[in-house]
């Protein structure tokens, strides 16, 4: 009863705080935006809850522009931002930070020492130590490893091509391949070294962060108005299945990380050459200046295992779906791959224009994290590339932001912004990268680490593994498209939903994308 009383008290305090905020005049009330159908949930029902991704945001952006106002829970005003200058400022300025609820969830799942969780100087130090493992040179050394993953992928796909099988669900096959790549690159161990139970734990973790329901959305929204010290109480009320899944994954990651790191340190003590996997690189730095401690390295295990696995698998699945919709382009890409084979092997992935245009367009249209939340920790001015028309008809080129204002980085909407990508921004058209149509508008923005896209974010929170993700897509797509053809079934009912990351969901609500697959070589 005491715990229930504590939670009720906290929720009540958050509710009263929200009502107090509502009595104040909104500092962004002069910014236009869509009406809300619910005072309690605001526009969250349209954006985050049971929503096919993008069915509202893209229309809102076209009507109101790249900066507009949406309603949060209990009518509190929030900003939806896809203006490139504003996004860049939010991602690079010290005036914005992760909201308390986001930081708390990351700490609960990944630990307080994870690179996803730490802030300030601790974050900068972690990034500095991790950067060498994700440099261009280090990633290029992984091409043979990814080649082995591609061979395994082909073998698994061929085993699924049974005579009476009409379709194959590509999601679990690709998830196994990307997990194999991550385990070898980070820990130097084979996918087969993980037992079925461990793999199941990871799959369950991804399902845990599936589509948010109304109660979950409401609680997470209220959490941002509570003092940080009180947030741990919410962990006591986490549903038992979710808590068990998180605990199991954390235990598995701890055991895997401890075993791997101890092996690397033992090799060093014996004067043996350490592996070039990520843990080997970090272990070599431990005794040097700025190196991470034993516990700090272990704390990165789960985030390194998870961050680049499910996101890449989902992106590859969505890429194959686009190829299936366009058999002409699919054949052109296959011809490019075959024409660059030397003794049955492909080299020089960066020299394949169609392949790289296709990857860029996939990452543009399907960013793994299309929405990200930030909160202003001080008063600031938000610069705008495109003038904003207020409700009174005034045009402004800079927007004053008050401390405490929540902003939603609409990264997916930015990458559909017609003013940047052209009138066909909603279309999936890889040719735009060969025609270089975005160059005049997007190139000058210098956003993100890859192709001026925000798929990997920008600023201090730029995705560490973006080079690995791009190379992995290059290698696996060449293997898949070079040897198989892909088509969608006639009764395809898959929808794209935002559930922590973009993922394909079947009509049953389960993640998956059944496809018709045939061997071509």
State the DSSP H helix or E strand holding residue 169, giving kind and residue range, or none if neither.
Answer: strand 168-169
**For the residues of 367-432, what is the DSSP string, one character each?**
-S--EEEEEESS-EEEEEEEEEE-TTS-EEEEEEE-TT-EEEEEHHHHTT-HHHH-TTTTS--THH
Residues 480, 501: Cα–Cα separation, whole Å: 23
Residues 207, 45: Cα–Cα separation, whole Å: 20
* Residue 320 contacts residue 480 (beta carbons within 8 Å): yes
* Residue 475 contacts residue 384 (beta carbons within 8 Å): no
**Side-chain-side CA neighbours of residue 145 (13 Å):** 25
| β-pairing verdict for 406-410 and 77-81 | parallel
Q: Which residues contact 319 (CB under 8 A, 6 or more apart)?
A: 358, 359, 362, 366, 473, 477
DSSP-derived letter for residue 273 is: P
Strand partners, 104: none
* Residue 454 contacts residue 415 (beta carbons within 8 Å): yes
The burial of 6, by beta-carbon neighbours within 10 Å (0-12 exposed, 13-18 middle, 19 or more buried), is given as middle
Residues 72, 375: Cα–Cα separation, whole Å: 13
The gap from C-alpha 248 to its chain's centroid, in whole angstroms, comes to: 22
Residues 166, 160: Cα–Cα separation, whole Å: 10
SS (H, E, C) 19-50: HHHHHCCCCCCCCCCCCCCCCCCCCHHHHCEC
Residues 246, 253: Cα–Cα separation, whole Å: 11
Q: Per the structure block, which two tokens stand in for 27?
A: 């500092």
Is 50 a known ligand-binding residue? no
The gap from C-alpha 317 to its chain's centroid, in whole angstroms, comes to: 14
| β-pairing verdict for 395-401 and 380-389 | antiparallel
> Would you tell me how many other CB atoms lie within 10 Å of the CB of residue 227?
9
List, in sequence order, the alpha helices (H) in 165-234.
170-182, 196-208, 214-223
List, in sequence order, the alpha helices (H) in 65-118.
84-92, 100-110
Query: Which residues sit in the known binding site for heme?
Result: 463
Query: Which residues sit in the known binding site?
Result: 463
């Amino acid at each position: 009863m005491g715990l229930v009383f504590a939670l009720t008290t906290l929720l009540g305090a958050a509710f009263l705080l929200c009502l107090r905020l509502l009595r104040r005049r909104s500092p962004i009330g002069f910014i236009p935006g869509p009406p809300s159908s619910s005072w309690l949930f605001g526009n969250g029902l349209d954006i985050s809850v049971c929503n096919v991704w993008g069915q509202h945001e893209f229309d809102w952006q076209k009507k109101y522009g790249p900066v507009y106002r949406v309603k949060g829970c209990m009518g509190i005003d929030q900003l939806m931002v896809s203006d490139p200058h504003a996004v860049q400022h939010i991602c690079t300025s010290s005036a914005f930070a992760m909201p308390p609820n986001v930081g708390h969830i990351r700490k609960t799942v990944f630990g307080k020492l994870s690179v996803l969780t730490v802030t300030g100087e601790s974050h900068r130090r972690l990034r500095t130590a991790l950067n060498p493992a994700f440099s261009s040179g280090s990633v290029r050394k992984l091409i043979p490893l990814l080649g082995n993953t591609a061979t395994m992928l082909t073998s698994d796909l061929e085993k699924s091509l049974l005579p009476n099988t009409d379709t194959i669900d590509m999601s679990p096959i690709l998830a196994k391949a990307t997990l194999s790549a991550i385990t070898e690159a980070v820990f130097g161990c084979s996918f087969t070294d993980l037992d079925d139970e461990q793999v199941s734990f990871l799959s369950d973790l991804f399902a845990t962060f599936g589509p948010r329901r109304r109660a979950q959305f409401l609680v997470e929204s209220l959490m941002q108005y509570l003092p940080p010290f009180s947030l741990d109480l919410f962990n006591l009320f986490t549903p038992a299945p979710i808590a068990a899944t998180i605990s199991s994954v954390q235990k598995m990651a701890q055991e895997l990380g401890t075993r791997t790191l101890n092996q690397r340190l033992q090799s060093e003590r014996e004067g043996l050459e350490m592996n070039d996997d990520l843990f080997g690189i970090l272990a070599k730095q431990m005794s040097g200046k700025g190196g991470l401690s034993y516990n700090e390295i272990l704390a990165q295990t789960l985030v390194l295992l998870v961050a680049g696995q499910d996101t890449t698998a989902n992106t590859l699945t969505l890429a194959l779906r686009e190829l299936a919709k366009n058999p002409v382009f699919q054949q052109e890409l296959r011809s490019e791959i075959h024409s660059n084979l030397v003794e049955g092997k492909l080299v020089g992935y960066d020299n394949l224009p169609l392949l790289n245009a296709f990857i860029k367009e996939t990452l543009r249209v399907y960013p793994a994290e299309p929405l990200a939340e930030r909160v202003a920790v001080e008063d600031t001015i938000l610069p705008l590339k495109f003038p904003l028309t207020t409700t009174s008809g005034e045009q402004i080129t800079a927007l004053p932001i008050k401390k405490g204002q929540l902003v939603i980085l609409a990264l997916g909407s930015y990458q559909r912004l017609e003013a940047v990508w052209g009138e066909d921004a909603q279309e999936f058209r890889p040719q735009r990268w060969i025609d270089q149509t975005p160059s005049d508008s997007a190139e000058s923005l210098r956003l993100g680490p890859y192709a001026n896209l925000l798929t990997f974010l920008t600023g201090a929170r730029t995705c560490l593994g973006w080079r690995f993700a791009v190379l992995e897509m290059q290698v696996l797509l060449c293997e898949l498209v070079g040897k198989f053809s892909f088509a969608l079934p006639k009764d395809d009912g898959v929808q794209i939903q935002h559930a922590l990351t973009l993922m394909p969901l079947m009509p049953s609500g389960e993640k998956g994308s059944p496809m018709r697959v045939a061997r071509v070589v």
